[in-house]
Amino acid sequence: MAEKKEAQKLIANNKKAYHDYFIDETYEAGVALHGTEVKSMRMGKCSIKESFIRIEDGEVFVYGMHVSPYEKGNIFNKDPLRVKKLLLHKYEINKLAGKAAEKGYTLVPLQVYLKNGKVKVEIGLARGKKLYDKRQDIAKKDMRRETEREFKVKNL
């Protein structure tokens, strides 16, 4: 059988989440959007830097996800910062709610991308980093960058 390759196009990435949190698990969720929001997302006009996720009454919502208004959408455009519902299975929502209720855990959006024509959000179950953890990560990055630079100089 011929396997269908899944086409993915990255729309937005949350680099700050990887800096501020340890990501333990990731989940893929759909997003309930209106027509002009989808068109705007296809053009790459989305930001999730300051966004967060909450579970309320058995439903998952993303707050602070900015979708710029579509240029040709005029009266059909929605509020760019409106709360958007995430689409997950009930058992996934229950599992996430149980984990997020534990001390120190939170839900953050990691990526927004198009997958087979549908807008998807990658959710991360995250634990907050302490200041010394962030310093260790920065030190590791600097060491890796330095070794790459030395390697590049030697191979010229």
pLDDT digits (tens, 9 = 90+) for 13-31: 888 888 788 888 888 989 8
Give domain status of residue 147, yes or no: no
Q: What is the pTM of this model?
A: 0.72
- Across the chain, mean pLDDT equals 82
Return the CATH number at 121: 2.40.280.10
Residue 26 falls within a domain, yes or no?
Answer: yes
Number of structural domains the chain divides into: 1
Out of 39-43, 79-83, 100-104, pick the least confident: 79-83
The three-point CA angle 63-110-106 to 5° equals 65
Q: How confident is the model at residue 58 (pLDDT cuts 50, 70, 90)?
A: confident
Whether 16 maps to a domain, the answer reads: yes
Instruction: List the domain range (segments joined by +) for residue 93.
Output: 8-129
The gap from C-alpha 4 to its chain's centroid, in whole angstroms, comes to 25
In a domain, 80, yes or no: yes
Q: Is residue 99, in this structure, part of any structural domain at all?
A: yes
All residues at 6 or more sequence positions from 118 whose CB lies less than 8 Å from its CB, including other chains: 30
